[in-house]
């Protein structure tokens, strides 16, 4: 039986160059196909996937033959015949079924070029284009590996996240909304607020009671408004029922600045002997902070501002105790019924999940490849939020030397995600990097709640 000899491309350098150029274009076209296809574990073998595979194989064959990298042994010629026939079939498909003239013309060129290579059976293949081979390998090897990884590691199917959905709530009337009450005179506090905060930092060593009385008089309308808002509920009018990350947020710095004003007012009144007012002002910051974290539509950042307000009120009570203005017994009575329920963190975590989920869903227009799996990213986010909520629903181990089981599970999960966030050997590196940042910013919230709970317990006992 006659053995086929290596094909000669020495006599037609133009054909070799054309084959090399077309091979590159075909492989790049295959990459483009893969970037436009959303592959998942439930994906069917549709014509787009077949087209990408056909372009990839045809491109590789033309490249290797043009550069003299392989010879036309029997298995090579058989493979080339199959590729030629596949391109002819794709010409028919693109012409009569989907009317894709670009695809038809491209496959026609590929079929002709492969046929020319098959017809060249001379003894000498010509000089190997070593430099071109090295350049091509360094250029296309990553692309080829990338495509193979994209096909081998498909995105997951979405998990049911109904348990983390939130229902819409009824917007509060303006007269019942703490935020509306505090901003009725505007969202900018007077300059006296900044001066009062500076004066508190100098207490007690450089405290100026005369200046404090002047500032107290200027801030009295704001103090009265904050005390009046103590019995109201809280909602941010611009973001209620809007779960997107770009929802318009209220001025949360204003709420924290109000708590600092109450800290100043409590100290100023205490220095004048008005301990009853001092107690009322300190408790107002704690009470309004609790209102924030109890809100039925609170975001995570609003929840943290609520915790900050509570801690500012606790700081005020500690200062008054240290200066022997309030006794430990009186503080215990004041904080007797003050506590943070274990279920308050559920709503802000659910809102945070929904906002991040919307952001992930909006990224579906990005190429879904080995580097990014949106479904996998959302499933990982759901798993983390579910663990974080379960952890928040357990009581804080105040004074315990060991972590609870839910604490350990949450920490191990976060460490596992962060450990592999920048590992290119694992699929979805973009999603993993995104999750690493998100998980690091959220995982410590439960610890903040427990620290505040421990402070309340310590002062109350």
Binned average pLDDT, 10 residues per bin, the chain of 461 residues: 43 60 67 59 55 67 61 57 65 63 65 62 46 60 74 85 91 93 87 94 92 95 93 92 88 94 96 94 96 92 95 96 92 92 89 92 77 90 91 77 80 87 88 90 87 91 82
Q: Which pLDDT does position 393 carry in this prediction? A: 84
> Phi and psi of 389, rounded to 5°?
-70, -45
Q: Report the C-alpha gap between 438 and 363 in whole angstroms.
A: 16
Which neighbouring-strand residues pair with 372? 369
Residue numbers of the domain that contains 145: 13-152
Q: Pick from 119, 152, 185: which residue ends a domain?
A: 152
Counted domains in the chain: 3
Q: Is residue 271 part of a domain?
A: yes
Helix (H) or strand (E) holding 432: helix 429-442
Q: Is residue 167 part of a domain?
A: no
Question: Which SS3 state, helix, strand or coil, does residue 436 take?
Answer: helix
What is the DSSP code (8-state) at residue 169?
-
Instruction: Judge if 331 and 195 occupy the same domain.
Output: yes
Q: Is residue 103 part of a domain?
A: yes
Instruction: Judge if 55 and 112 occupy the same domain.
Output: yes
Q: How many CA atoms lie within 13 A of 35 on its CB side?
A: 11
What is the DSSP code (8-state) at residue 247?
P
Q: Report the C-alpha gap between 52 and 34 in whole angstroms.
A: 7
What is the DSSP code (8-state) at residue 140?
H
Instruction: Judge if 303 and 369 occupy the same domain.
Output: no
Instruction: Judge if 326 and 371 occupy the same domain.
Output: no
- The pTM assigned to this predicted structure is 0.75
Q: Pick from 341, 372, 397: which residue ends a domain?
A: 341
Instruction: Judge if 442 and 317 occupy the same domain.
Output: no
Q: Is residue 92 part of a domain?
A: yes
Q: Which pLDDT does position 405 carry in this prediction? A: 82
Q: Is the Cβ–Cβ distance between 225 and 178 less than 8 Å? A: no
Residue with tokens 């004074």: 399
Q: Is residue 161 part of a domain?
A: no
Instruction: Judge if 197 and 333 occupy the same domain.
Output: yes
Instruction: Judge if 183 and 331 occupy the same domain.
Output: yes
Q: Is residue 164 part of a domain?
A: no
Q: Is residue 109 part of a domain?
A: yes
Q: Which pLDDT does position 90 carry in this prediction? A: 64
Q: Which pLDDT does position 184 carry in this prediction? A: 85
Q: Pick from 324, 341, 358: which residue ends a domain?
A: 341
| Residue 163 CB contacts under 8 Å (≥ 6 apart), including other chains | 386
Instruction: Judge if 140 and 222 occupy the same domain.
Output: no
State the CB neighbour count (10 A cutoff) for residue 454: 14
CA distances for 93 relative to 51, 141, 403, angstroms: 11, 30, 64
Instruction: Judge if 186 and 115 occupy the same domain.
Output: no
Q: Is residue 3 part of a domain?
A: no
Of 412, 427, 303, 311, which Cα lies nearest the Cα of 368? Answer: 427
| Residue 398 CB contacts under 8 Å (≥ 6 apart), including other chains | 450, 453, 454, 457
Instruction: Judge if 221 and 143 occupy the same domain.
Output: no
Q: Is the Cβ–Cβ distance between 248 and 239 less than 8 Å? A: yes
């Amino acid at each position: 039986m006659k053995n086929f000899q290596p094909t000669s491309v020495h006599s037609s350098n133009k054909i070799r160059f054309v084959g090399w150029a077309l091979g590159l274009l075909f492989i790049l076209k295959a990459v483009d196909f893969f970037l436009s296809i959303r592959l998942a574990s439930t994906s069917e073998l549709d014509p787009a996937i077949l087209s990408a595979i056909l372009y990839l194989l045809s491109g590789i064959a033309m490249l290797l033959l043009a550069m003299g990298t392989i010879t036309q042994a029997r298995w090579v010629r058989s493979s080339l015949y199959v590729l030629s026939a596949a391109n002819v079939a794709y010409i028919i498909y693109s012409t009569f079924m989907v009317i894709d003239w670009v695809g038809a013309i491209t496959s026609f060129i590929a079929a002709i070029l492969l046929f020319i290579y098959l017809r060249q059976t001379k003894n000498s293949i010509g000089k190997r284009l070593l430099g071109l081979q090295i350049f091509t390998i360094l250029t296309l090897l990553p692309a080829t590996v990338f495509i193979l990884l994209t096909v081998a590691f498909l995105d997951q199917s979405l998990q049911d996240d109904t348990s983390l959905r939130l229902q819409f709530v009824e917007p509060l009337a303006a007269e019942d909304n703490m935020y509306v009450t505090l901003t009725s005179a505007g969202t900018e506090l007077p300059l006296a607020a900044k001066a009062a905060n500076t004066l508190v930092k100098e207490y007690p060593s450089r405290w100026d009671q005369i200046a404090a009385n002047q500032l107290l008089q200027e801030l009295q309308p704001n103090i009265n408004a904050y005390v009046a808002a103590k019995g109201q509920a809280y909602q941010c009018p611009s973001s209620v029922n809007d779960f997107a990350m770009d929802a318009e947020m209220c001025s949360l710095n204003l709420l924290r600045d109000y708590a600092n004003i109450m800290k100043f007012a409590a100290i100023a009144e205490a220095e004048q002997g008005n301990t009853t007012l001092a107690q009322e002002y300190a408790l107002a910051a704690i009470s309004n902070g609790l209102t924030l974290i109890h809100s039925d539509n609170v975001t995570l950042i609003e929840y943290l501002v609520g915790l900050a307000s509570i801690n500012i009120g606790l700081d005020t009570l500690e200062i008054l105790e240290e200066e022997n203005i309030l006794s430990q017994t009186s503080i215990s009575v004041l904080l007797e019924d003050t506590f943070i329920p274990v279920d308050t963190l559920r709503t802000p975590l659910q809102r945070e999940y929904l906002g991040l989920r919307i952001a992930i869903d909006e990224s579906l227009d990005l190429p879904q490849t080995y580097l990014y799996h949106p479904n996998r990213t959302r499933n990982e986010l759901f798993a983390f939020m579910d663990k974080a909520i379960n952890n928040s629903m357990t009581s804080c181990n105040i004074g315990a030397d060991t972590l609870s089981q839910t604490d350990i599970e949450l920490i191990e999960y976060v460490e596992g995600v962060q450990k592999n966030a920048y590992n290119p050997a694992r699929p979805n590196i973009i999603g993993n990097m995104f999750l690493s940042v998100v998980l690091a910013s959220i995982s410590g919230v439960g610890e903040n709640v427990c620290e505040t709970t421990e402070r309340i317990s310590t002062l109350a006992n």
